[in-house]
Amino acid sequence: TGSQNGFVGIPMTLLSLRPSHQAAVIEVGIDEPGTMTGHMDTVSADIAVLTAIGPEHLEKLVDVATVAREEAAALEWIAAHRGTAVVRLDDEWIAPLAKKLNGAKVITCGMNVDADCSGKFENDTLTVDFSGKAEKFPIPLPGEHNASNLLVAISVAHALGLTADEIRKGLMTFETAKGRTEIKKLAKGATFICDYYNANPSSMVAALRLLNEEGLKGSGKKIACLGDMLELGPNEEKFHLNLQPLIERLGVSVLLLYGPRMRWLYDEMEDSKVKTYHFETHAELGKFLLEQLNAEDVVLIKGSRGMKMEEILKSL
């Protein structure tokens, strides 16, 4: 159904719950200061977790320090109501909260750190150490960042008392939300990473790294189709330009850009060995992409929701 995480979406989700439901996962999103506590009052959660802190919605949240402070209100609410807080120790902004949540039951997690639920990503498998007992879990979505997300989910399930076997059984039924790391094969044989539900600097970096993952590599080109990252405030140009070194380092073959902000990156790539193009419409980009496409190519489509990057796939 997509993400329903705001002033309208959260109540809509809550109103859809029925007595037959045993648990509900409610996503809470904020894009301005002071809204988290009100959302938490509405949800009245038993368990809370912050998945990550990064540069997002900076038009009103200004900087990452403010994002961290405003997001932390979710765990502070849980502590005040004596609930359970799952705290990531591998996020520099979240980790310090573990020692400040007086009143909460705190369960720590993190990749390659000493935690109640410590994770290790290897060969498309997540190994989780539950205080000395190691369990292996298949990762339903490719990429190290998705392994990290899975660790958070497993930690919450562990807090609810689910066994490792029950968690593995649940993972077998997993289906990704539309536009969130969907892996598709076109009739021509090319592999598409459809990750166009939204974008910020952190998720853009993760998606570009996924394009370089061993399990997705074909013998063909690595093609990145990137649209603008929106709501990044006064430093939005810098955030777009900062993608250039990573694109170079990962060996992207062809870079296809869309949107006025991606024009900044296009200009920055002028002397690059990466073949870079900028387009004014989805249709123009899609037509050019189709002319370039071979069976062994891997293509990433990524951009903020407002850029409607799914139109590129439709144009194919």
In this predicted model, what pLDDT tens digit does every residue of 267-316 receive, in sequence order?
Answer: 999 999 999 999 999 999 999 999 989 888 999 999 999 999 999 988 88
Integer Cα distance of 109 and 91 in angstroms: 10
Residue 253 is classified by DSSP as S
Q: Within its chain, how far is the Cα of 136 from the centroid? A: 22
Q: Give the whole-number percent of the chain exceeding pLDDT 90.
A: 67
Range 105-134 average pLDDT:
91
DSSP H helix total and E strand total for the chain: 12, 12
Give the pair of three-digit tokens for residue 115: 């935690």
Tell me the pTM.
0.77
What is the per-residue burial (b if ≥16 Cβ within 10 Å, else e) of 59-91? eebeebeebbbbbbbbbbbbbeeebbbbbbbbb
